[in-house]
Structure 1
């Protein structure tokens, strides 16, 4: 997987409110209305989902986890495109960026397909190559752990490989409670901290991990800007908010109601909606235009928050896949 955000040094790494307006761009919409509009936008603009970070896996995952009505042929198109790519590349999605495998495994599991037999290839097996996975950095380990645990987190969380990834990830914690892609960095950054919390969800009942999660949540609260957003890698982007919403929803924190994440009476969902366009797409920065990466991540965030509110499995716990 290419990480959901990478612009320059950025990482390509993916609410009910008091407002009663129903359209993005006209104020803060209700979650159900905003989610439905973005789902419609995604299905119109990504008609043939590819095995790729953009126009592919994240769109598929968000639609699959959303509960919105989607033609099953849509997901079959994606599966067929993955199989075509796998066969053409003889089972090798990447020589060194194993997040390519993790992303595809997650998308396939979200639609109930077996990643161990795609065109005769097992595309989950490369995640057993710990050294190559972590050579990509912390994000490689994060998404490998998410992928391995996605279909049965309770069964896999005590596995030797999963434990190895968990230990590696937890050891990367910075003194401020955050995490960073840069091993030499003194402080954590928003996006990597949020992604780390997402993969730690199955381990919340373990005291040492619970402490890491709690410190990570506090880091995300302390790092929030006065206007309710986040500045990361020199820019105030919607993606950092989206990743935080996904993380908080995974670990049981209401991103819009928890006072730690409220600024001037507005929560993170409210702030995320300021990036929303009337057609349901999202901007990367407030004075920018619609951006497919920002839209995918915001869609994932809305789905994650709705699942939290409805007491459903978290976004990456895909035991209740389609």
Structure 2
């Protein structure tokens, strides 16, 4: 090795390591007070070509004190693992763990960076005492095999002050980073966030520095370390400078390059939905008490209850109105031809935990036991009858009707109504997003267990994906509207599909949530614009609640067994109001597949809450009985 190269190597230090010639960045959570990160690696001379080792030899945090230097920190890191080195006493590593300068070729040897910059100083000259070495700094010692460091990011052959790449944590970069473009947008999903932008210089002979809101290259105390995050809010700027003439370098800078990352606050889909739910719930709760009605009635109750935002006063007022309505009808059948009236009231009452088999002494499930009655309304009848029956895992009442309802008949009726192109419609032969969405909602509980249902739904999902427009929305009867979007949103979430990360339902970067928010009005939603509309608001509200329940791991909008289970004590498997040995026996039978428990019974049988029904739960029930 010639003397000039050895001299160059002896003055170059390293903190930030590169992996396959790319920077290894450091998350702020990994920073340890009173320590520096030391990385020793060889990525340019492989074992296959004769090196004694390659890859990362050391990557750890090393304690420093007032007597520490860059050199001593690296030596400590090597000693911690029993690795050898030669040359530290003369301020240049001539060999590390058997890999020596010149082993990889005439231009090979050990070089290093301090915070990703090939410094102007020797390893031993960077000290804590002088203020050049501080807690959180990053030292990278790397083996170069070609170009006197050019293969590890530094060169004297050019004065390029651009940034080659950036690694960003805590925010999303709009678009791809391009070294020739200097202005970018960073999106955060919370009002404030800790964000880090870690730059890699095209030529690491030039420093990079990071600032918040104001670029102050002459102030050596104003910039953030590479490992430090910057707390930002909407409108803040993170500024990255590279190769400014105010900073030392072994190369000649021609002015440097400055990159600006402007922060934009854009709530996540989940936060957007949650905020809208809060807004609409507050408004709906301020309206007159809900009555039995397709608008201003059950859908309001359903949405508020499933959002967990219904008050006892609202629930009780609606229940009293429902009881009065049924009394006035004088029958369990609430409409002569529209079975959906019964289904709708069943949904609302189940959502508030009421007994639908005893409303003013009438069993509202009974009319749904007559298949001919259910079908009078067209496809709507079977769809909502199935949803209503499944919402509480209800048994279909015994009936003397000529054509008694079964779940199998309801499912098959819906399947038979599927149009040729794969969806469903109120009338005609072309799939409509509203009816397709509702049909999927009804069939969703059978998707995993019924192959015919799965095939039908998969076809319908393809149809809906193809029908989605570039804004993420859906059109029905010739106009894009919020209700169509709402029904598809409920359908997808009923299947466990998150439409914000399923590529089938993202168009031009827009999701169903984006489409719904295009109709956002004060306190609710509009129909085809942003003018408040009560029906659109109710449907949009419960659709958002359906999404919110999905992303928060709750049961689906129409699976209300979780609510009904609240009416019973843990361990009350037979739902008779007491916990006894009978309940323990039922669990034992269920474990042996001798008994099939209802969904509510399953919830009550899982005494230890581990999601599994087994003999442990039976034993716990026995203990409850003994200690009662």
The match for 1:302 is 544
Which deviations, in whole Å up to 9, do the C-alpha atoms of 1:141-169 show, x marking residues without a partner?
Answer: 1000000111127x77xx96111111100
In structure 2, distance between residues paired with 1:187 and 1:83: 40
Q: What is the Cα deviation at residue 176 of structure 1? A: 1.3
Cα distance in 1 between the residues matched to 2:277 and 2:391: 23
Secondary structure of 1:289's counterpart equals coil
Alpha-carbon contact 1:49-1:78 (below 8 Å) kept: yes
Which one of 489, 492, 508 corresponds to residue 248 of structure 1?
492
Show the counterpart of 2:419.
174
Aligned to 1:220: 464
Alignment partner for residue 201 of structure 1, among 424, 444, 449? Answer: 444
Contact kept in structure 1, 2:419 and 2:431, CA below 8 Å: yes
Specify the alignment match of 1:147 in structure 2: 388
Determine whether 1:32 maps to 2:268.
no
Deviations 1:234-279, CA, capped at 9 Å, x for gaps: 22110000001000000121112211111221211111011112x3
Structure 1 residue 210, shift from structure 2 partner: 1.0
Question: Does the CA contact (< 8 Å) of 2:526 and 2:533 recur in 1?
Answer: yes
Match of 2:315, SS state, is helix
Equivalent residue runs for 1:16-165 within 5 Å: 30-45=272-287, 47-68=288-309, 70-91=310-331, 92-152=333-393, 161-165=406-410
Distance change in 2, residues 1:233/1:20 (3 Å): farther
Cα gap change, 1:18/1:319 in structure 2, threshold over 3 Å: closer, same or farther? farther
Name the structure 1 match of 2:516. 272
Q: 1:236 to 1:19 in 2, by over 3 A?
A: farther
- Offset, 1:20: 5.1
Q: Distance in 2 between matches of 1:32 and 1:227?
A: 21
Measure how far apart 1:309 and its partner are: 0.7
Cα RMSD of the aligned pairs, angstroms, is 2.0
Mapped contact 1:19–1:30 kept (Cα < 8 A): no
TM-score, normalised with respect to structure 1: 0.86
**CA-to-aligned-CA distance 1:166-220 (integer Å, 9 cap, x gap):** 11001111121101111xx222111000000001111012222111111111111
- SS at 1:299 equivalent: helix
Larger Rg: 2
What is the TM-score with the length of structure 2 in the denominator? 0.45
Cα distance in 1 between the residues matched to 2:282 and 2:337: 35
Give how far 1:19 is off: 5.5
Q: Secondary structure at the match of 2:434?
A: helix
> Which stretches in structure 2 are left out of the alignment for 5+ residues?
1-186, 192-264, 397-403, 567-628
1: CA distance, partners of 2:314 / 2:431: 38
Higher strand share: 2
SS of the aligned residue for 1:54 comes to: coil
Q: Does 1:187 align with 2:187?
A: no
Q: Which runs of 5+ in 1 are unaligned?
A: 1-16
- For the residue of structure 2 that corresponds to 1:127, the secondary structure is helix
Runs of at least 4 residues off by over 6 Å: 26-29
Does structure 1 retain, via aligned residues, the 8 Å contact 2:434–2:487?
yes
Alpha-carbon contact 2:471-2:514 (below 8 Å) kept: no
Match of 1:229, SS?
Answer: coil
Aligned to 1:8: none
**Residue in 2 that maps onto 1:291:** 533
After superposition, give the CA deviation of every residue in 1:65-121 in whole Å (9 maximum; x if it has no partner).
0123x3212101111100001101112421111111110011111111111110111
1:260 to 484, 504, 508: 504
Instruction: Give the whole-Å Cα distance in 2 for the aligned partners of 1:222 and 1:84.
Output: 46
Partner of residue 234, structure 1: 478
> Structure 1 or 2: larger helix share?
1
Q: Measure, in 2, the Cα distance between the counterparts of 1:187 and 1:130.
A: 26
